[in-house]
Structure formats: structure tokens, C-alpha cells
Amino acid sequence: MKFKFNIKELPDRLGKKYIPILLILMSLLLFLVMRTSVAQKQKVYKEGQLAEETVRANKTIENKTETEEKQRLAMESVTPEYSYDATKADTQVQLVKSLFDMVDKVNKDADRIYNEKLNLAKDKKTISPVTAEERLPMLKSQFEKLNQNSLAYFQSYPDSFYESLFNYSAEELANVKEQSISVVETIMSKKIRNSNLQMEKQAAKEELQYVNITTGMRSTVNTIIDKTVIVNEVLNEKATEQLKQNAKQNVQPVMIYQGEIIVREGEQIEKKALDKIQILGLTNQATSVFPILALIVTILLQLLLVVYITKTQGKEFSAVKSITFYALTMMTSVVFMKLLYLFQKDTLGNVALLFPAAFIPVVLTMFMSRKWGLLSAMFQAIFSIFIFYNLAGTTSLLVITLFYAFSGCIATFLVKKRLESQLKSAFLLLIIVPILFISILTAYQGLDFGDSKTLTSLFVASASGIFSFILSIGLYPYIELMVNDDSVIVLNDLSNPNQPLLKRLLEEAPGTYHHSMMVASLSANAVAAIGGRSLLTRVACYYHDIGKIKHANFFVENLPDGAENPHNFLLPSDSKEIIFSHVTEGVKILEEAGMPQFVIDVCQQHHGTTLMRYFYVKEQERNGDTTEETFRYPGPKPQSKEAGVINIADSCEAAVRAMGHPTNEKIAEFVHNLIRSRLEDGQLVDTGLTLKEISIIEKSIVDGLCSTFHSRIKYPKMKSEAEKMKQEQEGKEI
């Protein structure tokens, strides 16, 4: 019995014509479904004419002209925002302090130089103090240590200013310093803008008139005020602009509401009423071929992208399967969208949001690739423009299109694995996030969340997400059955103990059957712990040793109690061939039974290319020229995480069962050593397992063995426990 859905019968009959015919049929159906939606009705309204009938707004839409005028007035009323920098006061005061500190240092150095010369001179009358002009270079030499900003400040003073400082006595200089710092601190503690900078400086200078200092000292302090006092509050253009934008956003849009009377029958159409009619798109709607042409070009664009993705996709899906699946899903999507359009009346204006926009992208992402999911999401949104063409130019169509596009694209964020293993992510991405997005669109339009129409829109959009979620979860197994050969339905059928191969395994090789069940339990739990395909792993384990039914009695677990091991009477090379054959024979049996490819792969890979060390050593004792390659399984090495786990669990289960009195410590040590040996032998190199995952797998297998070994039925003994342990550690499993 073959479980893989067969869609090749029709393609095989049509041959190369199948794909072109399918694409043409899809395009024709899409065109016919959407063509009627873009049909136009001609209406003409002119200013000054009498209305032949009462004109009502056919939709809710924003009057952008009036909204923009209100926004402009709101922005003009905003008070500019200024930023005050309190740190500038400390910075400028520190500059003044540094100025006098450098002057003090120069004076001390000059006095020291004078005293040294005076002590060395024979005629002390010839030695004169260092002059102010001589002290000036000494001061400027200190500027080299300053940063760029400080240097610019000190260079702004003229030389005459510094010479005047050098001419002051120590007491006078201290007084000037004190007054300068006091004045700068006082002024800079205020908020100074360009507009009041000079006024503040002048006020400070006038107050200085009442301070008991000389005129020269007052002039020096005034110079310091001019150079030091700066603006500390500037216009914050960014904050001001933000305030303007906030004021603009706080303006409620001027709306024209559906059902609102624009002009009554018999009344003259005024300019204001005509403007509203134009905004609603009710005037001068002459028929045009451009919407039809746009629809045709859109369908052709879709065909182009379908062909492109088909050419660039990997070998996971054939072109026939990919295009067939995409065509069926997109035709279903558009037809359902059209049905919603037919139900969209004045009383059901929000019914378009009920469309499960995430369902098709989820299906295509899960069963093909994210490219196909994104393609369907984009064209669902694009086709909605044509299907709901009667809403052209309105925010309603914008909301529908954006909602379809967002819901479809966000659905492709799901990981490409079974949905039941990612229910939380599916619930979040298919329901919660689209609801948040429609809430954003509602807020963007400035609609009242307490309004009944707004609440209806939110409710319908929420129903869309729930609908997508239910369809994705509920139909997943049936779609999987049509697309994949390892669907849940197939795996559940294969796990039934009444399945013919399992019944045969139980009857002909009961020990192997029991071993397979135990390996399945260990492997499935370990795979689940690392987020792998647990059910698929379990089923693959059930059949991984199916080849042993060909020579059941040559495998020790199937020997009755007290029976002699038949390998004792065979040459090591003959024993090797019999043991090897359980892999090749198993692959043949599974292929003939039409089993899923993964189950066949596990049967072929569960021993990898491990060395049958026990018989290899025995053969070497007979023939020293024997090589390891001749006693290694044909492989290939495990090619998936699940196959790697089975490779480990298979050997661990058989070895622990062979122990006479296994303890938790003994089991843990054996499992650890076996995994290390497999890593060293390179058996897990192609599985994609990380060291963290291997650690999780080791713990899961050890826990499973420790919790169940005592209740297991032991396989018949060979010669001794020591011999069996040695064989298992060396990679032998028979």
C-alpha cells in the first residue's frame, strides 16, 4: 500500500502541456472572477445643477482638504521649544578660574626667575623684575596644553588684556578674579537666548558700577563678561517640530460618513457638496479599459513570478507539484474573496475583513516554502484591489489591502514544521498580531473605538484571524496527506500494531519487535526534547530493524532461552554479511511496502558507517590483512537530527538490556562513552546536531533507560555479560 498522494496521473497524460494548460486555466478563472468587479457605471455631477436624486455618501472617507487645513492651524499655534544647557555655566566659570590660575602660575614663575637671577648677580641693582611684556609669552606657552574649545576662548582676549592682569598686585588680581567669577556665575545661572544675551551683559555691567573696585579693574571684569557670557538656551528645532507633529496628529480627521446626505433631491449642487462628491469618487466616472488592462498585466506578472520561483526553487518540490498546489490555493482564495464581495452591502460594509488572509500563505509556507507563501500573500492583497474596486480611492480599500497583505506576510513567519508543535506562535501570528494591526489602522483613521461600526470592524477582523487559525490547524493533516508521504494520518496508520509489517515483525522476530518499541520510546522522547519530529521518529524506529525478519534467529534478541548463538558456528566474515543484510533487506522491504521516504532513510542510516568491531577483531585474528572498511556498515551516516538520535538510542537500548544488574551510574557512563565514541568516529557529523542538543539527548536517553530498565524483559543471554558489554561498546549490535 502506498501512502503518498499521487498527483502525477493527469500530468503524465498531458506531458509537457500540463503546466501551460494549468497556468492558462488559472489565469482565465482569475480574470473572469475579477472582471465583473471592475465594471464601471457612469455618473456626472456639475456645480449649479439640480440634484435629480438625494445623494448620500456611499462610504466613510476622510475629507483630506479640511483635515489638512485644521492641521495647518494647529501647527501654527505651537509655541517653540527651547533647550536649556545648565552645564554651560560650570564650563564658563571654569574657564575664568583657569584664566586666573594660569596668570598666578606665570607670576610665581616670574618671581622665582627674578629671585634666582638676583641671588646669582654680583651687582643686584642691575637685575630688574620680569615685565608684563616678558610674562605674556610665558602665559601663551601654557595654551599648548589646552583643548580646542578652551584655546579659542583664551585666544579671544587681546594681549593688552593679559598685560593689564600682570600689572595688578596680588590683592587686586584676587579681587578681579572674585568679581569676575561672581558675575559670570550670576549671569550664566539665568536662561540666556540670543535675543536677551546683550541685555543680560549690559545689566551685569551696570550692576558692576556699584562694586567698590577701580575703573581699570571694572574694565577688566567687563572684558571677561563680554568674552565669557554665552547663550545657554537655544531653539530645539527637533522638539519644536515634534510638538508641531503632535499637534497635527491630535487633530481629528474631518470625515464624510457613509449614509451622510451630501445634497438632497431638487437642491442645487453647491461647490462644497461637489467637493464631497469628488472625494467620494461619484463624479465623472466614465467607463475605461485601463482597469481591465491593469488586471491582465497583474495576472501576467503573477505568472512570471510563478515561473521564476519554480525555476529557482530547490528539489524538494517538483514544478508540477508546486504550480498545481499554488494554482489550486490561489483560485480558492480569489473565489472566496469574490463571495465576500457579493455579500458586501451597505449594512455589511466590513464583511471583506472576514477573509482568512493568513490561511493560504500558511499552507504554502508549511508545505512548500516561504517564497510561495509570500507570493500568495502579495497577490491576495493585489487581487483585493480589483475585487473590491467599488471602494477605489477610499480608506476602506486601503484598510482591506493592507490587512490582507500584513496578515498573509506575518503568517509566513511561522517555522516550517507541524503546526501542532507551534500553537502558541500560530495563535500569536494568526490572531493576536492581525488584531493589533487592524487596531493600528483604526487609530490611524482617527475612528472612535467606542463607535458601533468601529467595533464591528475589529470584531470581523478578529474573526478573520480565528478563521485562519482554525482552518490552518484543522485542515493541516488532510493537506499534508495530499502533499507529503509522512503526514500525521499516514504515521498514525503506520503506528497501528495491526499494520502487516509490524504484525510480521512481532510474529517472526519478537525480540526485535520489543527492542524496536523501546528504541522508539527513547528516541521519540529525546527528539521531542530538542524540538524535532517526535511522531515521525517513533514510527521510523518501529521499522528500523524490519530487515531482521529475513534471518531472525541470527540476532541474539530473538533466540529462545538456552539456545546456542548461531554465530559461534560461522566465520566472522559470514556473520558480518548476515548482520549487514538486515539494513539492505530492510530498505528493500520498506520500499516494496511504499513506506515514507524518511522511514526508509532511517532504516538505511541507523547504523551509519560504524565498525562491527567484535567480528572485525575475530577476523583479524584469522587474517591480519583484514581492513576496517570491510567491517563497516555501508551507511550512509545519519543525515538528520532524528536519524542521529535513533543511531544513539538503538545501541544504548540493546547494551543496557544486556547488562545483568544495571545501575543509574553504570547506564549514564555507558551512554556518555557511546556518544563520545560516535562523535569521534564522525557518525553524527551530517546530522546537524549541536553540542547542546547532544547534551539534551544524552540526558533524555539516560533518564529513559534508568526509569524503565528494571521492568524490561531481557533478551536471551549469550556467554556472559562482560562479553556482551564489550561487544556493544565496540559498536556491535546483533
**Per-residue pLDDT reduced to its tens digit, 600-641:** 988 888 888 888 877 878 878 778 777 778 888 887 899 999
Distance of CA 526 to the CA centre of its chain: 27
* Among the listed residues 192, 267, 268, 184, the one whose alpha carbon sits nearest the alpha carbon of residue 222: 184
How many folded domains does the chain comprise?
3
Give domain status of residue 278, yes or no. Answer: no
**423 and 522, same domain (yes or no):** no
Taking 90 as the threshold, does the pLDDT of residue 203 lie above it? no
Residues of the chain with pLDDT > 90, as a percent, come to: 12
| Residue 377 pLDDT | 92
Q: Distances from the Cα of 417 to the Cαs of 367, 423, 481, 655, in angstroms?
A: 9, 11, 15, 33
Q: How far apart are CA 81 and CA 36, in angstroms?
A: 56
**478 and 514, same domain (yes or no):** no
Taking 80 as the threshold, does the pLDDT of residue 29 lie above it? yes
**230 and 314, same domain (yes or no):** no
Residue where a domain stops, chosen among 212, 235, 258: 235
- Mean pLDDT of all residues in 486-508: 84
Q: How far apart are CA 552 and CA 582, in angstroms?
A: 9
Taking 50 as the threshold, does the pLDDT of residue 44 lie above it? yes
Give domain status of residue 103, yes or no. Answer: yes
Give domain status of residue 270, yes or no. Answer: no
- Mean pLDDT of all residues in 705-712: 69
Give domain status of residue 488, yes or no. Answer: no
**449 and 559, same domain (yes or no):** no
CA atoms within 13 A on the CB side of 305: 16
| Residue 393 pLDDT | 58
Residue where a domain stops, chosen among 195, 218, 235: 235
**624 and 680, same domain (yes or no):** yes
Total-model pTM: 0.53
**453 and 363, same domain (yes or no):** yes
Distance of CA 219 to the CA centre of its chain: 68
CA atoms within 13 A on the CB side of 512: 31
- Summarize pLDDT for 512-535 with one digit per residue, the tens: 888 889 999 999 999 999 988 888
Domain assignment of residue 139, given as a range = 83-235
Taking 80 as the threshold, does the pLDDT of residue 651 lie above it? yes
Q: How far apart are CA 596 and CA 4, in angstroms?
A: 7
Taking 50 as the threshold, does the pLDDT of residue 391 lie above it? yes
Long-range contacts of 336-345 (CB under 8 A, 24+ apart): 337/380, 337/383, 337/384, 337/387, 338/33, 338/34, 338/37, 338/387, 341/37, 341/387, 341/388, 344/388
**444 and 514, same domain (yes or no):** no
- Summarize pLDDT for 121-166 with one digit per residue, the tens: 766 677 778 788 888 888 888 888 888 888 888 888 888 888 888 8
Taking 50 as the threshold, does the pLDDT of residue 240 lie above it? yes
39 within 8 A of 238, measured Cβ to Cβ: no
Taking 50 as the threshold, does the pLDDT of residue 61 lie above it? yes
* Among the listed residues 279, 284, 280, 290, the one whose alpha carbon sits nearest the alpha carbon of residue 39: 290
Give domain status of residue 501, yes or no. Answer: no
262 within 8 A of 57, measured Cβ to Cβ: yes
**473 and 533, same domain (yes or no):** no
Give the CATH number, domain containing residue 381.
1.10.1760
What mean pLDDT, rounded, does the chain reach? 81
Q: Which three cell numbers stand for residue 44?
A: 456626472
Type of residue found at 306 = V
Residues of the chain with pLDDT > 70, as a percent, come to: 87
Taking 50 as the threshold, does the pLDDT of residue 182 lie above it? yes
Give domain status of residue 194, yes or no. Answer: yes
360 within 8 A of 376, measured Cβ to Cβ: yes
| Residue 258 pLDDT | 60
**518 and 468, same domain (yes or no):** no
**529 and 464, same domain (yes or no):** no
Give the CATH number, domain containing residue 606.
1.10.3210
Taking 80 as the threshold, does the pLDDT of residue 453 lie above it? no
| H-type alpha helices, 388-429 | 395-411, 423-427
Compute φ and ψ for 265, nearest 5 degrees: -60, 130
| Residue 215 pLDDT | 86
Residue where a domain stops, chosen among 433, 465, 483: 483
Q: How far apart are CA 590 and CA 602, in angstroms?
A: 11
Give domain status of residue 403, yes or no. Answer: yes
676 within 8 A of 601, measured Cβ to Cβ: no
Taking 90 as the threshold, does the pLDDT of residue 725 lie above it? no
Taking 70 as the threshold, does the pLDDT of residue 721 lie above it? no
**218 and 320, same domain (yes or no):** no
**106 and 186, same domain (yes or no):** yes
| Residue 714 pLDDT | 45
- Mean pLDDT of all residues in 76-100: 86
| Residue 713 pLDDT | 42
Give domain status of residue 295, yes or no. Answer: yes
659 within 8 A of 725, measured Cβ to Cβ: yes
